[in-house]
């Protein structure tokens, strides 16, 4: 590989880095019990939720920021963050026509058209701008099937009994430092409820947009699939380019009852900072699903390309007999990005099965770690796990780390873990080039071939997107 | 053989269950389970020991040294000592601190050997015996360019004591060492075996460590390929039953290009036993064209036993081949059925498969190991 | 060799079996007498291999009905190893590789288990080596294979020869050979078939499970049975196999359709051929 020619290729600038000029209502920087009360009051929340937040806040005050991940970043000043920002529109509009056109334009620019004429026909979208959900499409059509898809603030008002029953039951407020913080100050996010026996008639999608520069984003997503229900859900995210770091600490909880399934896909493209590591999102996310029912299934697919720091382990607690957990991940780091990501598969129920396929690509001066836990409890008779973690290194300055933890307490279980590290070899590139394929294209073919197993898991509309995204992110990194 | 402890013991409950004397000896508090490296390692078998020191017999006194080998005096060994520990970043490891502290407090045999030719084979029995307390050994092997040695170490204990063995090995270019360790203890005994190896380019290390029967066994082979271009073959086998705990933490680092590692670690856990394996492989940028393969295979034979395993690969070099794998399972049912369909009773079939599982590692021990019937000792108990 | 007065070795009556609650065998009837060679033919999924696994006692299969008598005793009560010791042998379609277990030791332990059941003395290492070398000739196998792990790294043909070697050592009364011809080139097939013919005697019986005529060109069956949908659909002499070779299995579908449409229960009444 010729350093001169390839090194000269200039990275495509982050094309979602613009800022929308819009009036926002913000509360003062800093975090205290009063701030937690204020957020709850602004959202006119019932008492149980305020209690939940306050308990979480007190727990968070007692906790330490975790330091075990292979990540390095300057200390976060939690008092220098704004915990609530919302575009100034009095309340959520009943019709899209009433939404500030600037917001609609923003989502248009992001490729997520919300207006009636332009929106995707088979995907319902909940659009979250800074801390607040501004629009949800196809709500009525979904309601006909009994499917609830709305912002979590709205769900708190409309379906408080469901929120009270499920919120915090998968990720308790004291689960970890960032989950506790989220539980105290979460602003908005999506709520999905698929009633018994219903197969959700369309893809559901939430699009998160951070706009303001000094605001933390703390969404909370809760998806419940009752007996025999199924849903496919996708989240996307972008943020403007700032030379400061924004904190994003989300919590996602999935609950799956007997014979139900949730497929949760993420294409994460937060601003990653520049090539010197200035700016970018600190992404500390707790995602966990509980397969409570027999034969229930949770499948996580993630394509992680953005963020300066990623700390994220979408997990499955496989409680039900014959329950299934899956994790398919592509994590790409370039420049000075750092990612410590993976999954936890906690096998509790008999014959529970899990599959982990993780593909890490490290380029530039980045560091990319896979950290995964497969735990087989004493009652998980006949449990099975298969894990495959492959790393691809591009350039000799990038790091690829693999930390697969295996804990087994059940002899009638089988765990298999395989991992390999590879690079794009000159021979392979030469072979492709000798067949007339350009250098960049050859590289992106090899990378997308490397990620194929994961892309195949994405909903079709997004697989091609993900492929392109990866090619874009890698431009100029091979040399 | 029993000396009074130099470290102060606490008064009252006869010292049992009290770790203060160990912390004093080591000059550092005992590792806590809050530390990642000790998360699964319960030290109660160690803290239950009588606070006294054992002066073990000098194992080199009992053997005739083969040609090509000489024993170094403490003073001629001194310049070498500590090098391998420093190079493998293990001088501050608690078991090493304990060994150093105890060695300083109490004369323990320094087994320092310089190998300058094709030295053939040597079999050393490092016995802590049946007395209560702590026995320490320190081994230094310096292999000069082109020299070779086949060494079998047999740490053993037959009583309520702890055996601490710290080995430092320095391999010059072209040196070849086959280092086997066959360690058998009892449910009352503890083993802390730390092996620090520095390999120069062109050297070859075959290290096979087998441990069974210890209430607590902690084995830490740590290898640095100083300039890469060396070959390291690591084999490990730990068999634990009853309430035993066996814990192997390996660490291999390549500080130069074209190094090779071929590692296989096997574990068998039965009854309420606990088996831990942690295998770190570090491939920094200087280590282009490293070829490292690590495989961990564990047999879990009882529903009260536990296996914890964690490979750890850290790679910053793009042109490398690093593969690792891990499996945990019981005996394969198809294999069992095949044997049974040929008339072999199921417990005998299970025994055959367990033996096969172990033999894959045992056959890599130096030839001298065969006469000590390792398989029978490992599996014949029960 | 058919002798109507020869003792019955294996008597299968209305055998039904399932794997993971999925019924596979739906009432198999088959009587095998000493001296006979039977061939069970049928397409993939017809239940042939299940029949062999059930007879050998594979734990993944559950017998849900019927019975199997081996020399008048209830075979289904025995563990897999007891079945082997009393003279039932299964030659596997896919012999499993067992790394680390020496082939020689495995063969010796198995042979001695069978000998103990027969009331013969145990063979020590040396006596066994003599025996095994003699039996190697039956399958023209290189003694080097004895030093290797059981089936590990063996080619398809080598695995099958190793199966027949085991048969030669265990001297079963009823040998069931499951797709022994699959994956063999013509030379290996000849060697394997030669071994089977050499081991056949008036006192024992062989049950060949196969797809194809080509094995039956080398081992002449006395009885041929066609299996479909978990039953024996038709039985006949060796000419039935030749007919199948000519006409294929299409008539099987027609027959199954006819049965499904309300015809008589197939396979319930065994067709006695003699």
Give the domains, in start order, of chain C with CATH numbers.
Answer: 8-94+173-260 (3.40.50.300)
CA distances from C188 to A175, B238, C139, C157, C160 (A): 63, 43, 9, 6, 9
**H or E element: which one contains A330?**
strand A324-333
Q: Which residues of B touch A418 (CB under 8 A)?
A: 323-325
Tell which wins on pLDDT, A132 or C208. Answer: C208
**Sorting pLDDT into bands at 50, 70 and 90, what band is A120?**
low
Chains touching A (3+ CB pairs < 8 Å): B
End-to-end CA distance of chain C: 11
Average pLDDT, chain C: 88
B300: nearest CB among A397, A411, A421: A411
* Residue from C55, C80, C103, C122 to probe the interface with B (highest B Cβ count within 10 Å): C80
* Residue from B318, B319, B324, B350 to probe the interface with A (highest A Cβ count within 10 Å): B318
The torsion angle over the Cα atoms of residues C139, C144, C150 and C154, rounded to 10 degrees, is -70
3-state DSSP assignment of residue B309:
strand
* pLDDT 10s digits, B275-332: 999 999 999 989 999 999 999 999 999 989 999 999 889 998 888 888 888 999 888 8
Contact B343 C92 (CB under 8 A): no
Q: Nearest Cα to C207, choosing from C48, C27, C46?
A: C48
A66 touching chain B per CB within 8 A:
no
Token match 């063999």: residue?
C184
What are the tokens at C115?
A: 């000998």
Q: Which residues of A touch B323 (CB under 8 A)?
A: 418-421
B309: nearest CB among A393, A396, A406: A406
Determine the Cα angle at C63 with ends C57 and C67, to 5°: 90
Contact B308 A407 (CB under 8 A): yes
3-class secondary structure for B28-96?
Answer: CCCCCCCCHHHCCCCCHHHHCCCCCEECCCCHHHHCCCCCCEEECCHHHHCCCCCHHHHHCCCCCCHHH
* HSE-CB of B99 using CA atoms within 13 angstroms: 26
B58 touching chain A per CB within 8 A:
no
Q: Which residues of C touch B352 (CB under 8 A)?
A: 101, 105-106, 109
Contact B353 C59 (CB under 8 A): no
CA distances from C110 to A124, B339, C85, C89 (A): 65, 8, 9, 12
Q: Which pairing describes strands A297-304 and A324-333: parallel, antiparallel, or unpaired? A: parallel
End-to-end CA distance of chain B: 32
In whole angstroms, give the CA distance from residue B92 to residue B217: 19
Contact A401 B321 (CB under 8 A): no
> Which pLDDT belongs to residue B9?
38
In whole angstroms, give the CA distance from residue C203 to residue C200: 8
Q: Is residue A479 part of a domain?
A: no
Q: Nearest Cα to B218, choosing from B209, B226, B227?
A: B209
DSSP string, chain C: ---TTSPEEEEEEEEEEEETTEEEEEEEEEEEETT-EEEEE--TTSSHHHHHHHHHT-TTEEEEEEEEEETTEEGGGS-HHHHHHTTEEEE-SSPPPEEEEEHHHHHHHHHHHHHHHHTPPPP-HHHHHHHHHHHHHHHT--GGGGGSEETTT--HHHHHHHHHHHHHHH--SEEEEESTTTT--HHHHHHHHHHHHHH--TT-EEEEEES-STTTTTS--SEEEEEETTEEEEEE-HHHHHHHHHHTTHHHHHHHHHHHTT-PPTTSS-----
> Which pLDDT belongs to residue B279?
94
Q: Is residue A124 part of a domain?
A: yes
Per-residue pLDDT of chain B (382 residues), as tens digits, is: 444 444 333 333 344 456 889 999 999 999 988 888 898 888 888 988 889 999 888 888 888 888 999 999 989 999 999 999 999 999 999 999 999 999 888 777 889 999 999 998 999 999 999 999 999 999 999 999 999 999 999 999 999 999 999 999 999 999 999 999 999 999 999 999 999 999 999 999 999 999 999 999 999 999 999 999 999 999 999 999 999 999 999 999 999 999 999 999 999 999 999 999 999 999 998 999 999 999 999 999 998 999 999 988 999 888 888 888 899 988 888 899 999 999 999 889 999 999 999 999 999 999 999 999 888 888 874 3
Burial-class residue B360 by CB neighbours within 10 Å (0-12, 13-18, 19+).
middle
Please determine, for residue A479, whether its predicted confidence score (pLDDT) is greater than 60.
no
Those residues whose C-beta lies under 8 Å from the C-beta of residue A194, and which sit 6 or more positions away, are A146, A147, A200, A223, A224, A225, A226, A229, A230, A231, A260
B343 touching chain C per CB within 8 A:
yes
The partner residues of A237 in beta bridges, in order of sequence, read A208, A268
> Which pLDDT belongs to residue B358?
94
B342: nearest CB among C57, C79, C84: C84
Q: Is residue A452 part of a domain?
A: yes
Rounded mean pLDDT, A359-366: 90
Q: Which pairing describes strands A220-225 and A190-194: parallel, antiparallel, or unpaired? A: parallel
> Which pLDDT belongs to residue B11?
37
Contact C106 B334 (CB under 8 A): no
* pLDDT 10s digits, A72-98: 888 889 898 888 877 665 455 556 666
- List, for chain C, all residue ranges whose pLDDT scores fall below the cut of 50: 265-274
The boundaries of the domain holding residue A89 are: 3-474
Measure in Å the smallest separation between the Cα of B293 and chain A Cα atoms: 9
Measure in Å the smallest separation between the Cα of C78 and chain B Cα atoms: 11
Q: Which residues of C touch B338 (CB under 8 A)?
A: 92, 95-96, 98, 150
Measure in Å the smallest separation between the Cα of B302 and chain C Cα atoms: 20
Number of cross-chain residue pairs from A and B with Cβ atoms under 8 Å apart: 116
A47-62 helix and A33-42 helix, angle to the nearest 10 degrees: 150
Burial-class residue B182 by CB neighbours within 10 Å (0-12, 13-18, 19+).
buried
Contact A396 B330 (CB under 8 A): no
Token match 């090619």: residue?
A471
Measure in Å the smallest separation between the Cα of C196 and chain B Cα atoms: 17
Tell which wins on pLDDT, A5 or A148. Answer: A148
Confirm if A205 and A123 have CB atoms less than 8 A apart: yes
Structurally, how many domains does chain A consist of? 1
Measure in Å the smallest separation between the Cα of A381 and chain B Cα atoms: 9
* pLDDT 10s digits, A276-329: 888 888 899 999 999 999 999 999 999 888 888 999 999 999 999 999 999 999
> Which pLDDT belongs to residue C270?
42
3-state DSSP assignment of residue B247:
strand
Q: Nearest Cα to A147, choosing from A200, A189, A94?
A: A200
Q: Which residues of B touch C49 (CB under 8 A)?
A: none
Please determine, for residue A435, whether its predicted confidence score (pLDDT) is greater than 50.
yes
Q: Is residue A369 part of a domain?
A: yes
* HSE-CB of A361 using CA atoms within 13 angstroms: 26
In whole angstroms, give the CA distance from residue A92 to residue B372: 80
- 3-state DSSP helix/strand/coil percent for chain B, to nearest 5? 20, 40, 40
Number of cross-chain residue pairs from B and C with Cβ atoms under 8 Å apart: 77
Token match 């294999």: residue?
B335
């Amino acid at each position: 590989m010729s350093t001169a020619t390839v090194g000269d290729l200039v990275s495509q600038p982050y094309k979602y880095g613009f800022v929308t000029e819009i009036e926002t209502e913000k509360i003062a920087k800093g975090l205290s019990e009063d701030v937690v009360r204020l957020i709850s009051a602004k959202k006119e929340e019932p008492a149980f939720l305020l209690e939940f937040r306050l308990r979480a806040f007190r727990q968070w005050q007692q906790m330490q920021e975790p330091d075990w991940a292979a990540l390095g970043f300057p200390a976060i000043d939690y008092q220098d963050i704004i915990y609530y920002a919302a575009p100034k529109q009095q309340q959520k509009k009943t019709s899209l026509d009433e939404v500030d056109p600037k917001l609609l334009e923003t989502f248009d620019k992001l490729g997520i058209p919300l207006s009636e004429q332009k929106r995707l026909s088979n995907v319902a979208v909940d659009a979250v701008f800074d801390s607040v959900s501004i629009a949800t499409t196809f709500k009525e059509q979904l309601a006909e099937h009994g499917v609830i898809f709305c912002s979590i603030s709205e769900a708190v008002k409309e379906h408080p009994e469901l929120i009270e029953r499920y919120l915090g039951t998968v990720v308790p407020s004291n689960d970890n430092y960032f989950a506790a913080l989220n539980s105290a100050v979460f602003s908005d996010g999506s709520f999905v409820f698929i009633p018994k026996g219903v197969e959700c008639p369309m893809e559901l999608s939430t699009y998160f947009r951070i706009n303001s520069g000094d605001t933390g984003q703390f969404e909370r997503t809760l998806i419940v699939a009752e007996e025999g229900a199924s849903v496919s859900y996708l989240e996307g995210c972008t943020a403007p380019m700032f030379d400061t770091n924004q904190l994003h600490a989300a919590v996602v909880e999935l609950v799956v009852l007997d014979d139900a399934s949730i497929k949760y896909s993420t294409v994460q493209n937060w601003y990653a900072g520049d090539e010197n590591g200035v700016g970018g999102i600190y992404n500390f996310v707790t995602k966990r699903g509980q397969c409570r029912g027999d034969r229930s299934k949770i499948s996580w697919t993630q394509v992680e390309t953005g963020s300066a720091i990623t700390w994220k382990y979408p997990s499955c607690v496989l409680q039900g007999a014959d329950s299934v957990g899956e994790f398919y991940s592509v994590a790409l780091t370039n420049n000075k990005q750092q990612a410590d990501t993976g999954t936890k598969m906690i096998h509790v129920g008999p014959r529970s099965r899990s599959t982990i396929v993780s593909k890490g690509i490290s380029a530039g001066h980045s560091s990319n770690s896979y950290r995964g836990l497969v735990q087989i409890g004493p009652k998980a008779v006949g449990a099975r796990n298969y894990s495959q973690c492959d790393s691809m290194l591009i350039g000799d300055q990038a790091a690829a780390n693999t930390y697969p933890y295996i804990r087994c307490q059940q002899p009638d279980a089988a765990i298999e873990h395989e991992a390999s590290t590879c690079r794009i070899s000159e021979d392979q590139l030469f072979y492709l080039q000798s067949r007339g394929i350009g250098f960049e294209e050859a590289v992106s073919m090899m990378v997308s071939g490397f990620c194929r197993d994961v892309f195949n898991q994405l909903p079709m509309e997004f697989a091609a997107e993900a492929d392109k995204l990866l090619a874009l992110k890698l431009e100029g990194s091979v040399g | 053989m029993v000396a009074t402890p130099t470290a102060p013991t606490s008064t009252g409950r006869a010292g049992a269950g009290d770790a203060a004397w160990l912390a004093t000896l080591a000059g550092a508090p005992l590792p806590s389970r809050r530390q990642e490296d000790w998360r699964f390692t319960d030290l109660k078998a160690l803290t239950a020991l009588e606070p006294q020191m054992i002066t073990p017999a000098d194992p080199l006194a009992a053997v005739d040294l083969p040609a090509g080998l000489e024993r170094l005096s403490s003073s001629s060994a001194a310049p070498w000592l500590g090098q391998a520990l420093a190079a493998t970043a293990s001088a501050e490891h608690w078991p090493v601190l304990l060994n150093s502290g105890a060695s300083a407090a109490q004369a323990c045999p320094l087994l320092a050997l310089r190998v300058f030719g094709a030295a053939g084979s040597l079999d050393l029995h490092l016995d802590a015996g049946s007395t209560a307390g702590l026995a320490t050994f320190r081994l230094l092997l310096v292999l000069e360019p082109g020299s070779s040695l086949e060494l079998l170490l047999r740490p053993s204990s037959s009583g309520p004591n702890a055996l601490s063995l710290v080995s430092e090995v320095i391999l010059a270019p072209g040196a070849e060492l086959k280092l086997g360790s066959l360690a058998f203890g009892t449910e009352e005994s503890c083993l802390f075996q730390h092996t620090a190896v520095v390999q120069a380019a062109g050297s070859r290390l075959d290290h096979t460590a087998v441990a069974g029967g210890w209430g607590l066994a902690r084995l830490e082979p740590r290898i640095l390929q100083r300039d890469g271009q060396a070959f390291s073959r690591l084999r490990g086998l730990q068999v634990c039953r009853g309430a035993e705990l066996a814990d192997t933490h390996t660490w291999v680092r390549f500080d130069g290009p074209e190094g090779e590692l071929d590692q296989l670690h096997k574990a068998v856990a039965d009854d309420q036993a606990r088996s831990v394996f942690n295998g770190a492989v570090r491939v920094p940028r200087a280590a282009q064209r490293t070829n490292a393969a690590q495989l961990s295979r564990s047999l879990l034979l009882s529903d009260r036993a536990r296996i914890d395993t964690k490979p750890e690969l850290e790679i910053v070099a793009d042109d490398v081949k690093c593969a690792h794998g891990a499996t945990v399972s019981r005996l394969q049912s198809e294999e069992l059925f095949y044997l049974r369909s040929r008339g072999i009773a199921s417990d005998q079939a299970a025994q055959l498969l367990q033996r096969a599982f172990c033999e894959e590692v045992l056959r890599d021990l130096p030839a001298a190991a065969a006469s000590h019937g390792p398989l029978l000792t490992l599996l014949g108990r029960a | 060799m058919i002798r109507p007065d020869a003792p019955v070795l294996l008597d299968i009556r209305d055998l039904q079996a399932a794997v993971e609650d999925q019924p596979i065998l739906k009432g198999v009837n088959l009587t095998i007498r000493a001296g006979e060679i039977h061939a069970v033919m049928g397409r993939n999924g017809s239940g042939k291999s299940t029949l062999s696994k059930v007879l050998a006692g594979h734990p993944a299969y559950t017998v849900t009905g019927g019975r199997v008598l081996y020399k008048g005793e209830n075979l289904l009560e025995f563990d897999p190893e007891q079945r082997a010791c009393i003279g039932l042998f299964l030659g596997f379609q896919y012999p499993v590789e067992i790394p680390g277990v020496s082939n020689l030791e495995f063969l010796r332990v198995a042979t001695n288990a069978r000998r103990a059941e027969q009331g013969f003395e145990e063979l020590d290492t040396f006596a066994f080596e003599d025996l095994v070398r003699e039996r190697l000739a039956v399958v023209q196998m290189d003694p080097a294979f004895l030093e290797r792990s059981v089936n590990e790294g063996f080619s398809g043909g080598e695995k099958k020869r190793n199966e027949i070697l085991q048969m030669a050592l265990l001297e079963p009364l009823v040998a069931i050979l499951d797709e022994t011809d699959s994956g063999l080139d013509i030379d290996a097939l000849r060697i394997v078939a030669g071994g089977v013919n050499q081991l056949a005697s008036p006192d024992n019986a062989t049950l060949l499970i196969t797809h194809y005529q080509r094995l039956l060109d080398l081992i002449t069956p006395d009885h041929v049975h066609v299996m479909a949908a978990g039953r024996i659909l038709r039985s006949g002499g060796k000419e039935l196999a030749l007919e199948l070779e000519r006409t294929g299995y299409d008539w099987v579908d027609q027959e199954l359709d006819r049965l499904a449409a309300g015809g008589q229960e197939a396979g319930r009444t065994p067709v006695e051929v003699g």
